[in-house]
Structure 1
């Protein structure tokens, strides 16, 4: 109860479920939920570093965060979806996808990792995706989403190396939540295997179970919702 938890993207399906689950569990003295759609002190826009810094400053006033989860991501928007072929690539959309999926979480780490305790277990986790695995890519397509998540995985690996120098017990990981019944996956749920489309509540509990089992040597890696390592 002497530490806090932070959820970035708490207005999303997975982020909201994570926030609710952590509040219900009561393992942390304070649970901070931030999102672009929230107002006041809970507002955080990944495209605005000043808002990230302001959220970090608010958290810094209370117990040190022992858990920070970045539960954000973009796959499609009005007029844009995953690219099926190179002819579909659009520079502005690629920049938007990278800004949300890679740069935003990296800036969250920039401002929040220094707040996490140097002594004791602390976990920083960012939601990634199996399709961001370069070695696992056998079908192509989805250029921007794949590449931005692969870049996020590299950010996580690099952050983990640096953070290890500050705290020997720090754990920095990427997590693949599976296909979750949210707005992000809704247009693409038709091909999901039976039993593999998770509710946000179930996804949140699975992710928290994985986080609970993480060990220091796991830092810098990508794990799926079953706790299995996914190769970069």
Structure 2
């Protein structure tokens, strides 16, 4: 039997995965479904047509709409507690969104969209799923952040909307941790930096990177689950890279 990547959680795990059809989200979905400790995976995505699996419940959701997040949470509440909530969604570029090289390129509509997806959506997911985390055993809420969200690490400037959205997300993860510790002492929150991953999100920005710096989604999923497994309530509210090292705020 395949060894679990989530040994510190125990067995019979229920996991909620948001952004389950993206590059990293797909790899996480497959890794979780293959994990013998995981009993059920609720996979949220605007595209909910995934290969059938006995552990999988696919739920079509636009994370920009709170009513859809709330409906999904109500469905999960009826099925019992969650042990892991993973937010793997995010936006860096799109039809009307580009990383800004200068403050002159800041556009309200584009910035609002980046903040809506990268900051507000995880906040609303937390609002509706943190109360569902299991009690009396380890449970975790984790969201994909980025090293670029570190204020102290910002030496280059630019990418204003993306940096701001991830810095704000990191602050939310910290504030959620403080409140969660009062209500569910064995639960934790984590912000996770996946590194540079070979996905559509990073594809336009891979040119010139050193060989070996770009990871496959499958490698990244394994690294992220390892970090989640290794961290405990004493490290709640902090941001960690895929290799387990902490990223300063």
Q: TM-score, normalised by structure 2?
A: 0.90
CA distance in 2, matches of 1:211, 1:199: 19
1:194 — aligned with what? 211
Question: Which stretches of structure 1, 4 residues or longer, exceed 3 Å deviation after superposition?
Answer: none
Give the match's secondary structure for 2:229. Answer: helix
C-alpha displacement at 1:41, in angstroms? Answer: 5.8
Corresponding residue for residue 4 of structure 2: none
C-alpha separation between the residues in 1 aligned to 2:223 and 2:58?
Answer: 29
Which whole-Å CA distance do the structure 2 matches of 1:60 and 1:41 have between them?
A: 15
2:43–2:58 Cα contact (<8 Å) kept:
no
Residue 9 of structure 1, aligned match among 5, 12, 19: 19
* 1:86-122 Cα shifts (integer Å, max 9, x gaps): 0000001111000000000000000001001121100
Matches within 5 A, 1:53-92: 53-92=70-109
The answer to whether the 8 Å contact 1:68/1:123 transfers is: yes
Aligned pairs, number = 232
Does the residue aligned with 1:210 lie in a helix, a strand or coil? helix
> TM-score, with normalisation over the residues of structure 1?
0.97
RMSD between aligned alpha carbons? 1.3
The 1-side partners of 2:179 and 2:22 are apart by 29
Distance in 1 between the 2:89 and 2:16 partners? 13
Please tell me whether the aligned partners of residues 4 and 66 of structure 1 are also in contact (alpha carbons under 8 angstroms): yes
Report Cα offsets for 1:21-53 as digits up to 9, x if no partner.
Answer: 011012121111111222796111111001101
Q: 1 CA distance for matches of 2:58 and 2:20?
A: 13
Q: Could you tell me how far 1:216 is from its partner in structure 2?
A: 1.2
Q: Helix, strand or coil: the match of 2:43?
A: strand
Q: Which moved more, 1:127-136 or 1:210-219?
A: 210-219
CA contact (8 A) 2:87 2:143 kept: yes
Q: What per-residue deviation string (whole Å, max 9, x for no partner) do you get for residues 127-186 of structure 1? A: 000000000000000000000000000010000101111111111010000011111101
Deviation at 1:228, TM superposition (A): 0.3
Counting helix residues as a fraction of each chain, which structure ranks higher? 1
**Unpaired stretches in structure 1, ≥5 consecutive residues:** none
